[in-house]
Amino acid sequence: MTEEHKKYIKKRKVRKCVIVGLQAGILLLFIGAWELVAYLKIVDPFIISSPSRIVKIIGELYRGSNLFPHIFATLYETVLGFLLSTVMGTVIAIILWWSPVIKDVAEPYLITLNALPKIALGPIIIIWVGAGKASIVTMAVLICIVITIISVLTGFLSVDKEKIMLLKSMKATKMQIFAKLVFPANLPTIISVLKINVGLSWVGTIMGEYLVSREGIGYLIVYGSQVFQLDLVMASTVILCLLAALMYGGVALLEKFIAKKF
């Protein structure tokens, strides 16, 4: 290794350390300032809560065996909504790719559905599907599915025309064109849709839980705000942050795995 290359490697390492250090520093500074402001009663801790109160209330939830049931309820709804919308959205996109007539017929409906704020459908969903988990999952699916269909279909339709010509010259059937070209060429698109859906399915689930629920993180947030217990609201939000980051990390890992296979 030359001296110059060593220098370069060192420079890279230093840069990485600085970035991780700054990231951790900002977090610690934020938590510290928050705690201090609450401790010195510069702002009423009743309004802004504080890190130590958040830890305390999470401990209380845990001891009362309330923590994990709530987490699992929300996680279950989110993962189910995420999987259902991804699979159903991809299947619908395949149908629309297959039949240009169906695609053209469906287009205005898709555009309208995409523009519609799905939360507006909340009351209808509750009445139709019932006040329970099913409503929440439906909400999550509704939020994710339209964007899934549109993104995946756009990916399918943007496959290189010359590659399709090549397969046609080999007398490939539509099924073969899909299986050998269109689908594999779009795996990266589908992965990026997964990433979008992770975020959106959380939005759907929490929104659903705001509307109807007797358990879950969204329920804790609403309940906490109704009884004006900001500690509970903040603690739930922190848990939500962690869960969402964890799930995103999972998808990112899956992406790496698939990228390797490519």
Partner 1 sequence: MILQIENLSFTYHSKDTETKAVDDMNFSVNEGEFLGIVGPSGCGKTTILNLLAGIETPSSGRILLRGEPLSSKGNEIALMPQRDQLFEWRTIEKNVFLGLEILKKNTPENKAYGRELLEKYGLKDFLKKHPSELSGGMRQRVALIRTLVTAPSVLLLDEPFSALDFQTRLNVCDDVHSIIKQEKKTALLVSHDINESISLCDRIIVLSARPAKIKADVKVDLDKSLTPLQRRESPRFSKYFEEIWRLLEVRK
Residues forming the site for partner 1 (CB under 8 A): 160, 162-163, 165-172, 176, 180-181, 184-185, 187, 262
Q: What span, in angstroms and rounded, lies between the C-alpha atoms of 207 and 188?
A: 29
Q: Which is nearer to partner 1, 2 or 169 (CB)?
A: 169
Instruction: State the minimum distance, in angstroms, from the CB of residue 96 to partner 1.
Output: 23
Q: Give me the phi and psi of 213, to 5 degrees please.
A: 180, 155
Q: Which residues of 167-177 are buried (b: 16+ CB within 10 A; e: fewer)?
A: beeeebeeeeb
Calculated CA dihedral for residues 74, 204, 122, 128, nearest 10 degrees: -60
Q: Which is nearer to partner 1, 52 or 189 (CB)?
A: 189
Roughly how many angstroms between the first and final C-alpha of the chain, as a whole number?
A: 31
Instruction: State the minimum distance, in angstroms, from the CB of residue 187 to partner 1.
Output: 8
The residue ranges of DSSP E strands in the chain, in sequence order, are: none
Q: What span, in angstroms and rounded, lies between the C-alpha atoms of 139 and 201?
A: 9
Q: Which is nearer to partner 1, 116 or 166 (CB)?
A: 166
Instruction: State the minimum distance, in angstroms, from the CB of residue 220 to partner 1.
Output: 44
Q: Which is nearer to partner 1, 157 or 167 (CB)?
A: 167
Instruction: State the minimum distance, in angstroms, from the CB of residue 188 to partner 1.
Output: 9
